[in-house]
Structure 1
Amino acid sequence: MKLTPATEKFILHWGEMGWRWGINRAVAQVHALLMLSPKPIPADEIAETLNVARSNVSTSIKELQGWGLIRVVHIFGDRREHFETLKDVWEMFLIIMRERKKRELDPTLAALRECEASVASKDENAAYTLQRLKELTEFLELAASWADKGQALSPTAAKRLFQAGDKVFRLIG
């Protein structure tokens, strides 16, 4: 697959953003390539296009499949597996939100609750520590609640919610 300057720029940028969000750069670049590809691509072509090792592509594909962001497609007459990403960016957003909640928010909430329960009352800073932990827990519980509600939305409803955001911000002030 031949990359245009625009696709190359996007793939590099998506890889950089993925790295900043804690995602392996190669994983993000494979995802970016699949997002911009009009047809499913086999792993060897992904490796060649991105100029990365085939093993790196395999690892990236497994991670993206684990997130539910790509799927295998079989092409008639070709024994290789081809891969494509979800076409609906809102569906992709909801999946990423679900996975980040599961991998980041839920364990953090569990750790905060554990920390709250273990604050020693004889510690001179116990009241302050407990108050801060409770504030963090309350904030993350609210964020997790919003994430749960967001995950229940269809991609169309999620888009409508975001489009209504300006009205909500004006209403709240």
Structure 2
Amino acid sequence: MTEITDITRPQGIDRFILYWGDMGSQWGVNRSVAQVHALLYLAPEPMHAEQIAHALGIARSNVSNSLKELVAWRLIRRVPIAGDRREHFAAEVDLWEMALRIAQGRREREIDPAKLAIAECVALAQGDASVDPVAMQRLTEMQRFLDETTHWYDQMRDVPTSQLKRLLGLGDKVIRLLKFAGANKK
């Protein structure tokens, strides 16, 4: 685990930064990138790269690479500071916006290429009489699943945050409604 050398922060803050870094590595994100994100997310003011490197005890080059990645994900932004030529950075602090940006980035980097690959596999398998019908069924089910989930995502992406919060708050009510609707179809 990357050591955090600035011991002047409260223990809960340091623990969050370490935890976020650990969680990032479990999600396939470089630990340092996740720790830089956590530090900036909690920072009350924008920070420059040297401050970040000192606070986290990581190399300046590692910080620079982490900042580039976080800017590309649009999880942080450059913030001009009057009288200072260094680049300063601040994190997106709206959790809903952050989650939507992460979801969009993951879709672009992972889901969309998977959809294309599965579509190609289905097309090749459909033209091959030697493909077992069970395998063909499973490929088409996977393709349908990816199509349905990305369609759902596209619909939800445009729903205002206030309505998404209301929708999540309906949890048990939606489940009861679905059970009720299913029972009436029998």
TM-score calculated relative to the size of structure 2? 0.87
Structure 1 unmatched runs, 5+ = none
Q: What's the CA shift for 1:31?
A: 0.5
> Residue in 2 aligned with 1:121?
128
Q: What's the CA shift for 1:121?
A: 2.7
Instruction: Tell me: higher relative CO, structure 1 or 2? Use CA pairs within 8 A at least 6 residues apart.
Output: 1
What SS is found at the alignment partner of 2:88? strand
Q: Equivalents in 1 of 2:82, 2:64: separation in Å? A: 22
Q: Equivalents in 2 of 1:99, 1:41: separation in Å? A: 24
Q: What's the CA shift for 1:87?
A: 1.7
Q: What's the CA shift for 1:17?
A: 1.0
What amino acid sits opposite 1:121 in the alignment? D
> Residue in 1 aligned with 2:146?
140
Which of 155, 164, 175 is 1:149 aligned to? 155
Per-residue Cα deviation, 1:34-57 (whole angstroms, up to 9, x for no partner): 111111111110011000000001
What SS is found at the alignment partner of 1:73? strand
Per-residue Cα deviation, 1:78-127 (whole angstroms, up to 9, x for no partner): 2211111112100111111111111111111110000001115332x431
Whether 1:110 and 2:116 are equivalent positions in the alignment is yes
Which of 124, 131, 137 is 1:131 aligned to? 137
Structure of higher CA gyration radius: 2
What amino acid sits opposite 2:171 in the alignment? G
Structure 2 unmatched runs, 5+ = 1-5, 180-186
What SS is found at the alignment partner of 2:84? coil
What amino acid sits opposite 1:45 in the alignment? Q
TM-score calculated relative to the size of structure 1? 0.93
Which of 98, 102, 107 is 1:96 aligned to? 102
Aligned length: 172
Percent identical among aligned pairs is 47
Correspondences of 1:46-57 after superposition (within 5 Å): 46-57=52-63
Q: CA RMSD in A?
A: 1.5
Q: Equivalents in 2 of 1:20, 1:38: separation in Å? A: 27
